[in-house]
Structure 1
Amino acid sequence: MIMEAVTGPAPIVELDEVGKTYRNGTLEVHALDRVSLQVVEGEYVAIMGPSGSGKSTLMNILGCLDTLSRGRYVLDGEDVADLDEHELAEVRNRRIGFVFQQFNLLPSLSAWRNVELPLCYAGMRPADRRPRAEAALTRVGLGERMDHKPGQLSGGQQQRVAIARALVTDPALILADEPTGNLDSVSTADVLDLLDELHAGGRTIVLITHEQEVADRADRVVHVRDGRVLDDQREPAAPRPAHAAAAGVR
């Protein structure tokens, strides 16, 4: 009798003994030291650590915003070391959806035009961009705010626009760097609820934070200090809501 192999979710992020050293003259700073980490499709992982712990450097590595000094990084099945600058830019635009603390919205553009920017960089036809941008804004609850500029939106709404922009290319990974750092408690809860919904719909999320209450929303917490992973705590898997399969959000 031939047994079929049972496979789990595909790995989206694979770090193997990753190190990052910055040099300033004769001074060397080891920002990351032998970091190994795997994130599989559909996981929601929080990376937590104090200032200077290396979590920002780790975020830059994960986002292909910085290069490794040593080790190996495979993103969605592709070894990042094999990519040139043009290919890395394509990876950042198509495979990673970034959500930053500062929102990084262009104040002169409406919400939908901010959201369509990754599609512009990807070379999508103008006729196809607006429907995609409007669908992403509707998904994050801003269907009635598409023509509003950032200055006409609350902080929480601006972060929702940023999340819609992160979603619009249907990326393999959503990378959120302190996404609630500039929000009040009500807007923080609102944004974290949205990330919960996206996770329930099957999205792969890595969130960088120094706040325990934010990290607690993830189903796995990775603690970083002095450039090393100290521990990797996984919460028991919770049943996925029945509506998740019908949500149509990966």
Structure 2
Amino acid sequence: MADGTATRVAGRAAVIEAAAPVIELVGARKTYTTGSLEFEALRGVDLRIGAGEYVAVMGPSGSGKSTLMNILGCLDVLTEGTYRLAGEDVEELDEVELAAIRNRRIGFVFQQFHLLPSLPAWRNVELPLMYAGVRAVERRERAMLSLERVGLADRTANRPGEMSGGQQQRVAVARALVTDPALILADEPTGNLDSSSTDEVLGLFDELQAQGRTVVLITHEAEVAHHAHRVVHVRDGLVTVDEQVAR
């Protein structure tokens, strides 16, 4: 049994290595300056994530994992090094181009749901399409379809306050999916959920990866991380361990 598991893990790793990387960091450094003080949050990170991978990034508070997520999501830029997203050099893009990538090519899910309390679920889900200039009729159709995909077809008219925490996070996942991004970045998406809702949301990520999307999940919980196929450990701004998960 152990030999069979090792063979499956090695085979999956070989397929990933052969795939063109969606994410490629080389010598990634990020330094924050406050007055005369400098803090190096990332200290030369090399990381390659292939298309269709499900990767969890773990680390204690202050390890650099949130900075890494901000870099991967084009919410911040490197001080030194290279970040290529689907082969494109992010450092060469201007603010307008970076905003377009964030809105159309990356789906974000956060610990806080960031839903507008006055809007029904479908209106929250359509917001990225509104910013992208999509017509109103198409926006509603795609929002409804996205909510159906996360099991909330019967909750489209409900406002956030009328839903459980797990349902609100599923609305957030639907919003992340509505632009049909190839890359999903989830930052502590189960941090505010009970165990039942956590299982529901992690099940959604399992399905997304099975459909061919690349999923990167930031977490401090080992149980959550082991839903992924690969776990990257970050400490003091460096990748200390990068391992495949045996199944």
* Aligned residue in 2 for 1:99: 109
Corresponding position: 1:38 with 2:78: no
Q: Which amino acid aligns with 1:19?
A: R
Equivalent pairs: percent with the same residue? 68
Looking at structure 2, the residues matched to 77 and 171 of structure 1 have their Cα atoms a distance apart, in angstroms, of 16
Structure with the higher fraction of residues in helix conformation: 2
Aligned Cα root-mean-square deviation (Å)? 1.3
Q: How far does the alpha carbon of each residue in 1:31-51 deviate from its partner, in whole angstroms, 9 at most, with x for none?
A: 000001011111000000000
Contact kept, 8 Å, 1:107 with 1:150, in 2: the verdict is yes
Corresponding position: 1:232 with 2:242: yes
Could you tell me which runs of 5 or more consecutive residues in structure 2 were left unpaired when the two chains were aligned: 1-14
Contact kept, 8 Å, 2:226 with 2:245, in 1: the verdict is no
Could you tell me which runs of 5 or more consecutive residues in structure 1 were left unpaired when the two chains were aligned: 1-5, 239-250
Of the candidates 204, 211, 218, which is equivalent to residue 194 of structure 1? Answer: 204
Q: How far does the alpha carbon of each residue in 1:56-82 deviate from its partner, in whole angstroms, 9 at most, with x for none?
A: 100111111111000000112211111
TM-score calculated relative to the size of structure 1: 0.90
Contact kept, 8 Å, 2:31 with 2:39, in 1: the verdict is yes
Contact kept, 8 Å, 1:15 with 1:36, in 2: the verdict is yes
TM-score calculated relative to the size of structure 2: 0.91
Of the candidates 112, 117, 132, which is equivalent to residue 122 of structure 2? Answer: 112
- Note the C-alpha offset of 1:26: 1.6
* Aligned residue in 1 for 2:214: 204
Q: Which runs of 4+ in 1 moved over 3 A?
A: none
Pairs within 5 Å for 1:1-250: 8-236=18-246
Looking at structure 1, the residues matched to 48 and 126 of structure 2 have their Cα atoms a distance apart, in angstroms, of 30
- Note the C-alpha offset of 1:10: 2.5
Looking at structure 1, the residues matched to 25 and 142 of structure 2 have their Cα atoms a distance apart, in angstroms, of 32
Contact kept, 8 Å, 2:28 with 2:82, in 1: the verdict is yes
Looking at structure 1, the residues matched to 150 and 57 of structure 2 have their Cα atoms a distance apart, in angstroms, of 24
Looking at structure 2, the residues matched to 228 and 77 of structure 1 have their Cα atoms a distance apart, in angstroms, of 23
Number of residue pairs the alignment of both structures matches: 232
- Note the C-alpha offset of 1:202: 1.3
* Aligned residue in 1 for 2:3: none
